[in-house]
Amino acid sequence: MPHKITLTGSATGSLREYDRYVAFDMREKGSPSAPKGLKKSTFISYTVFVAKKAFNKTGLTKKSIMHEKILIQGEPTLDIPINECPGEVGVICFQITVLPNKNDKKDSESKEKKETKSQISEAYKAQEKVALTKPGEKPVSTSPSVAKEGEQEAKALQSEPQQQPIEKKKADAQKKKLTNQPRGTHDLLDFDEIIVPEAFLKTRPNPEKTQKVIDFVKRTGRLDEPLTIEKGTKLLKDGYRRYIVAKTVKLDKVPVVYEFQK
């Protein structure tokens, strides 16, 4: 039965592409202790061979593989020609996983905590407002003008008894619809409805920054920020990088912020 090997770290050299697979080098520290009389190894170098299909599923690129932390599970081999395997040990990979970045995880958790606190605060404010404007309650006033304003508000509430429940239902439905979306999102829009200006199509976003957003979507299931869309025309005004990411990971709906036409 063949031995199994697990490696953790980043590529130490550039990605090499072949017909049906890719290869890159990694290294790990050697054994912390060795039998007396043997020289302690400082590190062991490996050359990892991955099928192109499995590699493409990770979303890694030639540049990002040297910066992302990855987990390799495979089998060691010594049968690869030396010109293709500069490492001391060749590894035939049967599973490759991109490990989450600690800083991104902390930022995501911090953002979610802030959003939760904000939602709780807004809920308390809404409850206080309803309590202060209940029909039948006498408005607290210190002057005739304040009392008059209170009476006008009470009349307005009594004249529209059915409007409040309808608006509340709409607001609740909207909140439910935007659960787990980036802060500031106005709506969720079908990806196919967005119109991209020609000026954006001529540009190419930074691959490394784009890859970070792709990794964020894979971890959280959502974009990190909403796209800015012109209300009415559905023309993309800002967020072309996130548009590219949504297209890459095949999101059906994307969070948007509306910008009104001037």
Are 46 and 6 spatial neighbours (Cβ–Cβ below 8 Å)?
no
The answer to whether the Cα torsion of 192, 178, 199, 247 is positive or negative is negative
Q: Residues 136-163: what's their mean pLDDT?
A: 55
Do the domains 5-30+41-99 and 102-115+181-262 sit in the same CATH topology, yes or no? no
pLDDT tens-digit readout, 86-132: 888 999 999 999 988 766 656 666 677 777 677 767 766 666 666 66
- The two structure tokens encoding residue 124: 């308390």
Question: Which is higher by pLDDT, 35 or 132?
Answer: 35
Task: Report the run of H or E that residue 132 belongs to, with start and end.
Answer: helix 102-132
pLDDT of residue 153: 60
Local confidence band at 25 (pLDDT 50, 70, 90 cut-offs): very high
CATH, range 5-30+41-99: 2.40.50.1040
Local confidence band at 63 (pLDDT 50, 70, 90 cut-offs): confident
- At the top level of CATH, which class does the domain 102-115+181-262 belong to? alpha beta
Are 192 and 246 spatial neighbours (Cβ–Cβ below 8 Å)?
no
Give the start-end residues of each E strand in the chain. 5-9, 16-17, 21-29, 43-51, 70-77, 89-98, 187-190, 227-230, 236-238, 253-259
Q: Where do the structural domains in the chain lie, given as residue ranges?
A: 5-30+41-99, 102-115+181-262
In the predicted model, what is the mean pLDDT of the chain? 80
The answer to whether the Cα torsion of 61, 62, 63, 64 is positive or negative is positive
